[in-house]
Chains A and B, each alone.
Chain A
Amino acid sequence: MHDVRFSGEDILARQLKMAESNFERLREQGVRAVSVLGAIGSGKTTLIERLIDRVAKCGLKAAAIAADSAGDDDHKRFLSHNVPSVNINTQDDCHLDAHTVEHALDHLPLKDLDLLFIENVGNLICPADFPLGTETEIVVISVTEGDDMVRKHPKIFAQTDIVVVNKTDLAGAVGVDANRIVADYAKINPHGVAVLTNARADQGIDELMRALGIPCTNTLW
């Protein structure tokens, strides 16, 4: 019996390398990529639609990648905002990975873009271990998921820099205190930024743009 020692390379090194390669490729082309994670129905697509419109108002060019198990509903919504979009169907996979994103990037006019929003599959947990090569990650929670969302998923939120608490208009209807979500998040992640939004009504989007550090020179903003 003997033991073979290993050099300590990460098992997901292949994934990490592909993510780094995406990151470099986007940086070379001057594209800031933001990945948007969150459960099914948290409001990721609507939020990205609002960001796309805001970015256009700022005179910047955005694109999107829509990932779902099946269908092209989100992709069509992005296209209706007159931005390039790529649709990815992950079929039975519960998360995007860097390799799939790499192929999607081949279909986007990267040199003309300033921002790229990548909407992951509606799933809070699985995508967390698969970096895509984006500069920023945000996690979207809807108040309808309950005000114990952060407490139920502490590891996710301890490592998430920006959390969006969406559908704040519904908080009263479902008996949820959005501030409790924010307080839990502050306790577990003292350096994170929480933004309250009602994406459907276009509320809180400017705050999110600031949290994302997206520069806007347009005076309307």
Chain B
Amino acid sequence: MHEYSVVAELVGALTQRLADIDGTVTKVHLRKGVLRILSDRALVNAYEAVTQGTRLEGSALEIEIVPAQVRCKTCAFEGAATVLQDETFHFAIPVLSCPACGADVNVLAGRELTVESVSIEDPDDG
């Protein structure tokens, strides 16, 4: 249940960032890389618990999954990682290897955990 630790970091960072912005927070849009080992359900549950008593209480946590992008260390390939669809694995998993030549790769996307935006209801929205 390390999602609680992650959400505590999130709430701390958001509270600081939104300190000078008025209005009611209605939604937090999170981008989560597919390679992160974080359960969406646990994140949402933790968010509800951790935001209680803060100005984020009652807001929704929306999670967008970011697919894995790789850059080959050997050839010029840059793009989506191959997703292994093996039925013995219980879900599809990106393979961190070059789809073009099979060499080792650097991960360009798929490990991020960032806040994309926060929706705020202005006091005069009525």
* Residues in A lying within 8 Å of B, measured CB to CB: 1-6, 8-15, 93-95, 97, 125-130, 151-152, 154-156, 158-159, 184, 187-191
Q: Cα distance A132–B121 when bound, in Å?
A: 39
Q: Cα distance A20–B112 when bound, in Å?
A: 16
Q: Report the minimal beta-carbon distance from B51 to chain A, rounded to whole angstroms.
A: 14
Q: Report the minimal beta-carbon distance from B104 to chain A, rounded to whole angstroms.
A: 5
Is B67 part of the binding interface, using a Cβ–Cβ cutoff of 8 Å?
no
Partner of B114 from the list A11, A97, A130, A159 (CB cut-off 8 Å) is A11
Q: Cα distance A181–B13 when bound, in Å?
A: 40
Is there an interface contact between B9 and A6, defined as CB atoms closer than 8 Å?
A: no
- What is the total number of residues of chain B having a CB less than 8 Å from a CB of chain A? 42
Is there an interface contact between B37 and A156, defined as CB atoms closer than 8 Å?
A: yes
Q: Report the minimal beta-carbon distance from A147 to chain B, rounded to whole angstroms.
A: 11
Count of A-B residue pairs with CB < 8 Å: 108
Secondary structure at the A interface, as helix, strand, loop or mixed, is mixed
Is there an interface contact between B93 and A4, defined as CB atoms closer than 8 Å?
A: no
Hey, what's the 0/1 contact readout for B33-52 against A, CB within 8 Å counting as 1?
00111100000000000000
Is there an interface contact between B115 and A11, defined as CB atoms closer than 8 Å?
A: yes
Is there an interface contact between B26 and A1, defined as CB atoms closer than 8 Å?
A: yes
Q: Cα distance A20–B1 when bound, in Å?
A: 24
Is there an interface contact between A155 and B119, defined as CB atoms closer than 8 Å?
A: no
Q: Cα distance A94–B6 when bound, in Å?
A: 12
Q: Which residues of A are found within 8 Å of B94, using beta-carbon distances?
A: 158
Q: Identify the closest chain A residue to B68 (Cβ).
A: A158
Q: Cα distance A14–B3 when bound, in Å?
A: 16
Q: Which residues of B are found within 8 Å of A129, using beta-carbon distances?
A: 2, 6, 36-38, 113
Q: Report the minimal beta-carbon distance from B124 to chain A, rounded to whole angstroms.
A: 11
Of the A-B pairs whose beta carbons lie under 8 Å apart in the complex, a sample of 26, sorted by A's number, is A1-B122, A2-B23, A3-B118, A4-B21, A5-B116, A6-B115, A8-B112, A9-B13, A10-B112, A11-B6, A11-B115, A12-B6, A13-B13, A93-B5, A129-B36, A129-B38, A151-B88, A151-B89, A151-B90, A155-B35, A156-B37, A158-B35, A159-B96, A188-B95, A190-B97, A191-B104
9 additional A-B residue pairs with CB within 8 Å, beyond A93-B5, A125-B2: A6-B115, A6-B116, A6-B117, A8-B112, A10-B114, A94-B2, A128-B37, A155-B35, A191-B104
Q: Which residues of A are found within 8 Å of B10, using beta-carbon distances?
A: 11
Q: Report the minimal beta-carbon distance from A196 to chain B, rounded to whole angstroms.
A: 21
Is there an interface contact between B35 and A159, defined as CB atoms closer than 8 Å?
A: yes
Is B75 part of the binding interface, using a Cβ–Cβ cutoff of 8 Å?
no
Q: Cα distance A94–B37 when bound, in Å?
A: 14
Q: Which residues of B are found within 8 Å of A93, using beta-carbon distances?
A: 5
